[in-house]
Structure 1
Amino acid sequence: MTVSARTAPRTPPRGDGGTGDGGSESGRSRGADARALTQVLFAELSGLTPGTPEHNRVRDALIEANLPLVRYAAARFRSRNEPMEDVIQVGTIGLINAIDRFDPGRGVQFPTFAMPTVVGEIKRYFRDNVRTVHVPRRLHELWVQVNGATEDLTVLHGRSPTTAEIAERLGLGEDEVLACIEAGRSYHATSLEAAQEGDGLPGLVDRLGYEDPALAGVEHRDLVRHLLVQLPEREQRILLLRYYSNLTQSQISAELGVSQMHVSRLLSRSFARLRSANRIEPSS
């Protein structure tokens, strides 16, 4: 990514006051000089009209004076395997935003105010633009080679190269090339709801499994089956006729040749036995 020369001046060489020298006496002296210069420039900037050449000149000088702060913040992300120049450019955007929002009248030192903005901008860059899944360093390095070989072979043959062609070009096994290609996909997260390109299929979310609401009743049905066998045979039959065959109590009484009241009593007794044997918690 690139920041315009106007908004992000050339990064000065290390040793011009960079925070990395802050542990030495000369580094602390340069840091104090940079803070003093920053205060003077902000005092001058507050009296200028935004957008005028003089305002832009002072604003650029503020950016230049505080670039060591950006380098210091960027150094915290060296382990991310990203080009440090890109990280510094992103941090410079955060610095510019901090300069535009800073109010010297609040009594806060500018580095204290700017650091969270600079670091936040860098973290946002890694969150939005860098791979979403960590891959081993070796695969990352091979992926860069595979990506370069793919571009070269595409230009050479006028088509996308096969895995075998890439493997031959780099002297790798096809399995290694496939692993690198898979690792490269970790740089971009795919939405579950996005339609699949090329094949016309619905999004991944539409092809995922779903929770069957009937699953909640499986355990209960198994428990009821276990309890039913503990009832007398006639009570089992009455329950089956009532709740599986959906017969009314009158129809059951005619089926069994007993009174409806007796059927009702047998049902109530069966329910009492089932409840006492094992209480089934209601579904939430």
Structure 2
Amino acid sequence: MAHDLLETAAVTTDPVERQRLLDEVVLLNADVAESVASRYRGRGIPTDDLRQVAYEGLVKAVHRFDPARRHDFLSFAVPTIRGEVQRYFRDQGWTVRPPRRIQDLQWRLHRAIEELSQDLGREPN
């Protein structure tokens, strides 16, 4: 069904009709975006944000899909949606986790600073 709508949208000259067809494809495949977003829940990003990014990926997939080159819309849409979600994680959640040895050294340094501060009555320099 989505493929037929996308084929019709590709040859439609009326921009309003084309947009209506593309919107319909998005609505028909909203559950795909939901499914992809659900795979990334519980990883520190709010669920609503994940859903929004997944829907953005779906809209991009609908607009970029070329029915003349691809046989199956979902085989194009799912990786596109997943890529958008993963890109969002890279942009929002990028942190550097230092090695355990560095974490231990940092903890020992913090403790030493606290002890010196108590002994000296001021921050050590």
TM norm. shorter chain > 0.5: yes
Name the aligned partner's letter for residue 123 of structure 1.
Answer: Q
In the alignment, which of 42, 66, 71 is matched to residue 6 of structure 2?
A: 42
1:110 to 2:73 alignment: yes
User: CA separation in 1, counterparts of 2:93 and 2:86?
Assistant: 10
In the alignment, which of 36, 40, 53 is matched to residue 16 of structure 2?
A: 53
User: CA separation in 2, counterparts of 1:118 and 1:91?
Assistant: 5
CA shift, 1:101, in A, is 1.4
User: CA separation in 1, counterparts of 2:34 and 2:12?
Assistant: 28
Aligned to 1:206: none
SS of the equivalent of 2:62 reads helix
Aligned to 1:85: 48
Task: Tell which structure's C-alpha radius of gyration is larger.
Answer: 1
Determine what percentage of the aligned residue pairs are the same residue. Answer: 37
Instruction: Kindly tell me the number of residue pairs found equivalent between the two proteins.
Output: 97
User: CA separation in 2, counterparts of 1:107 and 1:43?
Assistant: 11
Aligned to 2:26: 63
User: CA separation in 1, counterparts of 2:89 and 2:69?
Assistant: 31
CA shift, 1:81, in A, is 2.8
User: CA separation in 1, counterparts of 2:82 and 2:30?
Assistant: 13
CA shift, 1:127, in A, is 0.8
CA shift, 1:98, in A, is 1.2
SS of the equivalent of 1:93 reads helix
CA shift, 1:129, in A, is 1.6
User: CA separation in 2, counterparts of 1:83 and 1:91?
Assistant: 13
CA shift, 1:131, in A, is 5.2
Name the aligned partner's letter for residue 118 of structure 1.
Answer: I
1:130 to 2:67 alignment: no
- The TM-score, its normalising length taken from structure 1, stands at 0.32
Q: Please state which structure has a larger fraction of its residues in helix.
A: 2
User: CA separation in 2, counterparts of 1:85 and 1:79?
Assistant: 12
Aligned to 2:102: none
Q: How does 1:188-227 map to 2 (within 5 A)?
A: none
User: CA separation in 2, counterparts of 1:61 and 1:42?
Assistant: 10
CA shift, 1:107, in A, is 4.2
- The TM-score, its normalising length taken from structure 2, stands at 0.69
SS of the equivalent of 2:29 reads helix
User: CA separation in 2, counterparts of 1:108 and 1:40?
Assistant: 11
1:94 to 2:33 alignment: no
User: CA separation in 2, counterparts of 1:110 and 1:66?
Assistant: 10
